[in-house]
Amino acid sequence: MRLHNLAPRPGAKHRRKRLGIGESSGHGKTSGRGHKGQKARSGGSIRLGFEGGQMPLIRRLPKRGFNNKDFKPVYAVVNLDTLEERFEAGSRIDEAALRAIRLVHGRNDGIKLLARGTVTKSFTVEVDKSSAAAREKLEQAGGSLILREPKPKQTKAVKAAKAA
């Protein structure tokens, strides 16, 4: 096989549909838009969820309850097997080291260590949270785990006192 023999599979390439190019093209006159009506007009698009004047589904359904999902802490997850691959034995691993090698990026509320994989090297790991299995595996390999102190939640009173 040579470069001049290469071709796309039959049926993989299509000609562009040329609209409004006369009756004999098959796409003349109304150009595939049917006859009249809002969708036939230029600029005739309707917004998402619009049901032609009928009460939209989103407004018909009852709204109940409360969701506090936006305020839940989000932790960056790091697994033991990843640390085993990326760090030398005896390393001190903290947030700065993880960000330096791009294992953790973006904004998050802390780092959580999970127990996927095995550990043969000993590390000193400083994170915000850890699973019990991850702690056990790390200590069996001769490493140590340091859990950082949780950041205190700031209430309105604390923020007001800081502002004053």
Decide if 145 contacts 135 (C-beta within 8 A).
Answer: yes
**Position with higher pLDDT, 139 vs 156:** 139
Please answer whether residues 116 and 85 qualify as being in contact, where contact means their C-beta atoms are separated by less than 8 angstroms: no
pLDDT at 157 over 70: no
Q: Tokens for 2, please give them.
A: 């040579």
Higher pLDDT, 7 or 150: 7
- Regarding pTM above 0.75, the answer is no
Average pLDDT over the chain reads 90
Calpha distance 10→38 (Å, rounded): 38
- CB atoms < 10 A from the CB of 134, how many? 24
How far apart are the C-alpha atoms of 107 and 85, rounded to whole Å? 24
Q: Which residue has the higher pLDDT, 4 or 160?
A: 4
List pLDDT tens digits, range 88-130.
999 999 999 999 999 999 999 999 999 999 999 999 999 999 9
The model's pLDDT over 54-86, given as tens digits with 9 standing for 90+, comes to 999 999 999 999 888 888 889 999 999 999 999
Torsion sign (Cα): 96, 97, 98, 101: positive
Domains of the chain: 73-147 (3.100.10.10)
The pLDDT score that the predictor gives to residue 149 is 84
